[in-house]
Amino acid sequence: MVVTYTLTRGTIKVSGIDLEKDGPITTISINRAHAKNALDNATALALRDALRSFDADNDAAVAILYGKHGSFCAGADLKEMSHGANYDAWAGSAEGMLGAPLSKPMIAAVSGHAVAGGLGLALYCDIRIADTTAVFGVFCRRFGVPMSDGTTVRLPRLIGESRAMDMMLTGRAVSASEALHIGLVREVVEPQDLLTVAHQLAVQIAQFPPLAMRSDRRSLLESRGLELNAALRNEAYLAAQAKSVEAAAGASAFNSGEGRHGQIE
């Protein structure tokens, strides 16, 4: 059962997850300081509900995923697993706990550890911004826990097979500066600026007409594994609605001078 969080502006706290809405921007924060924001099953379910609530909210355009207390997410709560709890993978497939990628864009704002399943959560997002304290890694390598949150699929697509294989076989820590160098993150900022920069980017994305942006995003995601002509047909299919609804109005706006030189009123 999915819980719907009804919120116009402000914050809701539930089971280790805080959801804050500010206009079209929704910030979803993991809040388990005692566990470096590792997720137990109850918190993972609360995160799922928060993500789905954002996706179903007609007024919400972009989500920021964040970890409070200086850590993004340390993966699954191994203490819970050590007591016999079953671990359900979060983001490895549409059948995973978090399900298929959302229909709207998500930005990961990474501070501190994004390791093991926490790395999987960062990869589940569309764009990653890190602060200088960020550390990425397949730390579960040390404990014989396999990656089952989509990392073995998403990571090589982002940074290349050679670099991804190195991270997965060695389990080594990857710093924020290295993550920027290999294309794992978009930019690196000071810790005090992380949420501000992420929010500014979210606002920039949210101002665009949504149908075309979301159809382009969906086409990019769904093109993986498709033969070229099939991918092109899918792009045309997904673009059709945006063309009929937004493109004519957008062309008129451009003709009147709006949107030129990167400026949108």
In tens digits, the chain (265 residues) has pLDDT values of 344 455 555 566 667 999 999 999 999 999 999 999 999 888 988 999 999 999 999 999 999 999 999 999 998 887 766 656 666 666 655 656 676 778 999 999 999 999 999 999 999 999 999 999 999 999 988 888 888 888 999 999 999 999 999 999 999 999 999 999 999 999 999 999 999 999 999 999 999 999 999 999 999 988 988 999 999 999 999 888 778 776 555 545 544 555 555 555 4
DSSP element (H, E) containing 165: helix 161-170
71 closest CA partner among 22, 24, 16:
16
H/E element holding 56?
helix 41-56
CB 25 within 8 A of CB 7: no
Q: Which residue is it, tokens 């979060």?
A: 90
Per DSSP bridges, beta strands 174-175 and 135-137 are antiparallel
Distance of CA 190 to the CA centre of its chain: 20
- Answer for the pair 212, 193: CB distance below 8 angstroms, yes or no: no
Q: What is the DSSP letter of 73?
A: B
Order of all β-strands in the sheet with 113-115: 113-115, 135-137, 174-175
Angstrom distance (rounded) from CA 210 to CA 72: 28
Q: CB neighbours (10 Å) of residue 117?
A: 31
Pairing of strands 187-189, 127-131: parallel
Task: Count CB-CB contacts under 10 A for residue 75.
Answer: 28
Residue type, 188: V
What does the alpha-carbon distance between residue 34 and residue 38 come to, in Å, rounded to a whole number? 9
